[in-house]
Amino acid sequence: MCKKRPIRFFRHQRLIFAVFTALSLMACLSLSADDRLGASLRLEGRMALRRGLQTLLAWQDHDGSWDGSAAATGQAVMAIMMSGLASEWPELQTAQQRGNAWLEAWLHTDPKQTPADWAPSALVAVRPLLRQSGPGSRDWSKLVEMALSHISLNQAEQSDVPWILEAAALNNLPHAETLHRPGAGSPACRLATAWLTERPESEQALLRAAAWESNWKQESPVGWYWLARSGRVCKALAPSGQGAWRERLMAIVLSHQRGDGGWGEAKDKPAKRVLDSALALQTMMLCLA
């Protein structure tokens, strides 16, 4: 059964921001033995995580972005934030700061795209900025509301729907309750959409079973990410316990890491490889946490 986190839970946004940003490898100490990864996978995951972060550092452009893409930059900065390693890794901290500065500048610039094309990228770009707190942090709720007003469910990419819902929920906006579209997207995205919109438990149970039985190797990195998020929210995702989904997913993500430390296909555009790598890293952190 999934915890009642989604819309109502997200209303306590300051707490959520702090908890989500604080996800780090040290969080594994608070897990029960049944929830933990095996020692070998944990060690391999930590090593792969550092290699992947090093690759993100190498891919960052001089202007602070990743390939000039708002979505790729937002996910890359989010991966750095979730790692919890910036405070002990100066280059990582600098990359995060430069990425945040680029994202803020991009979001304050009149979009060159049509509003319908700009909105999904803006909702991903603002992810790390929504999780900032303390002096200097800004209120992005108006921008999120504007972006949501330009979203057309009939035209939105299926993999974008959970990000749209997450942005609406984090800002206490009513859009999240109206954006549910049953039967759309991969099993992972359908499940995430269901718990983000607090669908009935009977519906969520069917979607959990479908997600567990699906071929995770064929999922994209965005699907891996939502499988990991669902595993942390829905305690019944894996019939044999929390450790089962962590080990299954971690093994798949590790098997897809490339020799250069990133993820994605060599033929992919740079921004796509950044997106895939950043989401794979976020997935690993959720498995390790």
**Residue 18 and residue 286: Cα distance in Å, rounded?**
15
Averaged pLDDT score across all residues of the chain = 83
SS3 64: coil
**Residue 146 and residue 116: Cα distance in Å, rounded?**
11
Query: Quick check: is 66 in a domain?
Result: yes
Query: Quick check: is 1 in a domain?
Result: no
Question: pLDDT at position 182, please?
Answer: 54
**Is pLDDT at 52 greater than 80 in this prediction?**
yes
Question: pLDDT at position 90, please?
Answer: 96
Tokens of 252: 């798949």
Question: pLDDT at position 252, please?
Answer: 97
Question: pLDDT at position 14, please?
Answer: 45
The mean pLDDT of 74-100, rounded to a whole number, is 96
Residue 231 — φ and ψ, nearest 5°? -60, -35
Q: How many domains does the chain have?
A: 1
The mean pLDDT of 49-57, rounded to a whole number, is 98
* More confidently predicted of 265 and 280: 280
Residue 2 — φ and ψ, nearest 5°? -80, 140
Residue 262 — φ and ψ, nearest 5°? -105, -170
Question: pLDDT at position 74, please?
Answer: 97
Q: Closest Cα partner for 121 from 150, 86, 90, 92?
A: 150
**Residue 170 and residue 182: Cα distance in Å, rounded?**
21
Query: Quick check: is 30 in a domain?
Result: no
Predicted structure pTM score: 0.84
**Cα end-to-end distance, the chain, whole Å:** 20
Q: Which residues are registered as beta bridge partners of 2?
A: 234
* More confidently predicted of 107 and 164: 107
Amino acid at 50: R
| Range of lowest pLDDT (187-191, 222-226, 236-240, 284-288) | 236-240
Question: pLDDT at position 81, please?
Answer: 95
Question: pLDDT at position 83, please?
Answer: 95
115-125 and 141-149 helices, crossing angle to 10°: 140
* pLDDT tens profile 125-138: 999 998 887 777 78
Question: pLDDT at position 128, please?
Answer: 93
Residue 69 — φ and ψ, nearest 5°? -100, 125
**Residue 250 and residue 248: Cα distance in Å, rounded?**
6
Q: Closest Cα partner for 286 from 234, 253, 244, 246?
A: 246
**Is pLDDT at 10 greater than 50 in this prediction?**
no
Question: pLDDT at position 30, please?
Answer: 42
**Residue 199 and residue 207: Cα distance in Å, rounded?**
10
pLDDT-based confidence at 27, cuts 50/70/90?
very low
Residues making up the chain, counted from first to last: 289
**Is pLDDT at 226 greater than 50 in this prediction?**
yes
- Where residue 159 sits, what CATH number does that domain have? 1.50.10.20
Tokens of 46: 């930590």
Query: Quick check: is 281 in a domain?
Result: yes
**Is pLDDT at 153 greater than 80 in this prediction?**
no
**Residue 52 and residue 58: Cα distance in Å, rounded?**
10
pLDDT-based confidence at 191, cuts 50/70/90?
very high
Look up the domain containing 201 and give its range. 6-25+35-288
SS3 234: strand
Residue 266: other Cβ atoms inside 10 A: 7
Query: Quick check: is 89 in a domain?
Result: yes
* More confidently predicted of 29 and 175: 175
Query: Quick check: is 93 in a domain?
Result: yes
**Is pLDDT at 75 greater than 60 in this prediction?**
yes
The mean pLDDT of 150-173, rounded to a whole number, is 74
Cα–Cα distances (Å) from 2 to 54, 188, 206, 258, 268, in that order, read 35, 14, 12, 34, 36
Question: pLDDT at position 1, please?
Answer: 62
pLDDT-based confidence at 148, cuts 50/70/90?
confident
**Is pLDDT at 176 greater than 60 in this prediction?**
no
